[in-house]
Chains A and B, each alone.
Chain A
């Protein structure tokens, strides 16, 4: 993925930032992804304030195709699909942010510690990482959520975060390994700087672009896992999510009834969020890594 900028870059931070900004503003992929994401985010954040408060309320005629009254039509029970959609978007962002955030924090903590300390600590953490890496996350989450009756979006997101960190830990560990023997880290160690400070001030800034991109990928991954859980039938019982909308559409036979307005918006919403994140990620990669810039 990204290449760690060399140590000279740490000195000329401002120059690097200006350069990154220069390329960021001219990167079509980054801007396109960001635009889609921001539009959806605004819709998810502020939409529910404007629209009806209860996405599951029975407000309109049943089984109605999109119209001026109900932009995305209504469900078989007469719920407004647009209202469900914007509430679902909000849930999607929550799952991504919380799940991706928790996974990023755990991945960084384990990756930095294992890579910097080495030795037996590394052995143990690496073993743990490998075990969680091989365990299929969705299957574990199915068992946990079904047994413990987890039916709220935040709790679901926390558990997603707890299971999806390993690949980040692994990548960060590898990068930390290669950074820790560099001269500037040795210098910091010789001057008696504490390990925590070395990690946060010397090592982490040198892979900040990578950390940010890893978070974006974790965000997208959490959204997809959350949607799968909701679709299988472990969605929230008191609110709505895009995955749960798909679940409802499938359960009440929207396919056979030809109610395309019921199952297209939620899937499109998930695809747009995750897709724009991925495209942004490619754009960022090009911004941070000169080799990849368009020639």
Chain B
């Protein structure tokens, strides 16, 4: 088991290293002089801001130093928590801008992932090999997984938000309020949270339901299932065993799907102008705010790595074979 976690941690460490290296390398691959083009792209009116930015970037990139030193300096700044200064919200540090947005993204993403995984698995397992459900659920599930996240979000915003007028379609809370600790504000938060959540939930739900349904069918074909039913075991018991076996690949699937789910959350936030990381990315791209973009990228990578590690731990808790050191494959 130590070997299992050691391997995993090594991979995550290397991934983080790769992500930071990408962050360092990509700006240096930019055609032309990165400092000049960034300052010109930033579209600043005041000359003193231009000068400040020019000096800041030149110092930050340290382009006159040898490459290895630039690289080490980059890591040094990163380890001090210095992700640079946002251009969009000029003198706010990128780290602050991101910390303000992260709770919204997590509040959306974590419940959507966990609930869709749980409900999708339950439902898929229930629908498998039940003719009527199988024939209706399956097509719906496939349509849902094939739906681009932003399109379902747009449809929901239009249908439930604008046409029916039940839910607000923009922002994380009512524009008439300032964040405070009152029931009214919490209610507003919940109301604005619901549609983005629903949209994320539905797309992911379709995928889990189909995956589980297919998995259960494989398990019901397996020898142990035939053996159990030959012994005269009740169908419910067989299905329960099938579910326990089928859930393991679904846990691995959750780890594999994290990137897609995060991507889905980002575009969903853009649709609803939800004040999370997705909206920050949109603003960063619109304002050519590369430091913000890089900061968000790093945050997403860290989040995905942490989530992966949590899933690894859960996997060990659920699957006794990993504990015995049989499933040491990383």
Residues of A within 8 A of B (CB): 126-127, 130-131, 133-140, 142-144, 146-149, 167, 220, 224-225, 227-228, 231-234, 243, 246, 249-250, 255-256, 258, 260, 263-264, 266-268, 270-272, 274-275, 277-279, 282, 291-292
Secondary structure at chain A's binding surface: helix, strand, loop or mixed? helix
Q: Which residues of chain B are near A255, meaning CB under 8 Å? A: 154, 157-158, 161-162, 169
Docked-complex contact A142 and B154, CB < 8 angstroms: no
Q: Which residues of chain A are near B317, meaning CB under 8 Å? A: none
Subset of 29 A-B contacts with CB under 8 Å: A127-B14, A131-B18, A134-B15, A136-B258, A139-B259, A143-B23, A143-B294, A144-B22, A144-B26, A149-B30, A228-B148, A228-B263, A228-B266, A228-B267, A243-B148, A246-B150, A250-B150, A250-B270, A255-B158, A255-B161, A263-B158, A271-B151, A275-B142, A275-B146, A277-B146, A278-B142, A278-B145, A279-B139, A282-B138
Residues of B within 8 A of A (CB): 11-12, 14-15, 18-19, 22-23, 26-27, 29-31, 138-139, 142-143, 145-152, 154-155, 157-158, 161-162, 169, 217, 221, 256, 258-260, 262-263, 266-267, 270-271, 278, 281-282, 284-286, 290, 293-294, 296-297, 300-301, 304-305, 308, 330
Q: Which residues of chain A are near B285, meaning CB under 8 Å? A: 142, 146, 232-234
Report the nearest B residue to A226, measured CB to CB.
B148
Docked-complex contact A228 and B150, CB < 8 angstroms: yes
In the complex, what's the smallest C-beta–C-beta distance from A147 to chain B, in angstroms? 5
Q: Which residues of chain B are near A227, meaning CB under 8 Å? A: 148, 150
Q: Which residues of chain A are near B278, meaning CB under 8 Å? A: 232
In the complex, what's the smallest C-beta–C-beta distance from B232 to chain A, in angstroms? 22
Kindly state the separation between the CA atoms of A137 and B281 in the bound complex, as whole angstroms: 15
Specify which of A130, A147, A279 is in contact with B142 (CB 8 Å cutoff). A279
Kindly state the separation between the CA atoms of A263 and B297 in the bound complex, as whole angstroms: 28
Known A-B contacts A127-B14, A143-B297, A292-B217; the reply to A271 vs B146 at CB < 8 A is: yes
Kindly state the separation between the CA atoms of A249 and B19 in the bound complex, as whole angstroms: 33
Docked-complex contact A147 and B256, CB < 8 angstroms: no
Kindly state the separation between the CA atoms of A130 and B22 in the bound complex, as whole angstroms: 16
Known A-B contacts A228-B267, A256-B162; the reply to A270 vs B26 at CB < 8 A is: no
Q: Which residues of chain A are near B267, meaning CB under 8 Å? A: 228, 231-232
Known A-B contacts A146-B293, A267-B155, A271-B143; the reply to A232 vs B270 at CB < 8 A is: yes
Kindly state the separation between the CA atoms of A143 and B299 in the bound complex, as whole angstroms: 13
Docked-complex contact A139 and B300, CB < 8 angstroms: yes
Kindly state the separation between the CA atoms of A260 and B258 in the bound complex, as whole angstroms: 31
Docked-complex contact A135 and B290, CB < 8 angstroms: no
Kindly state the separation between the CA atoms of A144 and B149 in the bound complex, as whole angstroms: 22
Specify which of A148, A268, A279 is in contact with B26 (CB 8 Å cutoff). A148
Kindly state the separation between the CA atoms of A292 and B128 in the bound complex, as whole angstroms: 12
Q: Which residues of chain A are near B296, meaning CB under 8 Å? A: 139
Kindly state the separation between the CA atoms of A292 and B11 in the bound complex, as whole angstroms: 36
In the complex, what's the smallest C-beta–C-beta distance from A139 to chain B, in angstroms? 5
Kindly state the separation between the CA atoms of A250 and B151 in the bound complex, as whole angstroms: 10
Kindly state the separation between the CA atoms of A233 and B300 in the bound complex, as whole angstroms: 19
In the complex, what's the smallest C-beta–C-beta distance from B54 to chain A, in angstroms? 19
Docked-complex contact A278 and B147, CB < 8 angstroms: no
Report the nearest B residue to A223, measured CB to CB.
B148
Docked-complex contact A139 and B26, CB < 8 angstroms: no
Known A-B contacts A147-B27, A232-B281; the reply to A142 vs B162 at CB < 8 A is: no
Q: Which residues of chain B are near A270, meaning CB under 8 Å? A: 146-148, 151
Specify which of A133, A139, A278 is in contact with B297 (CB 8 Å cutoff). A139
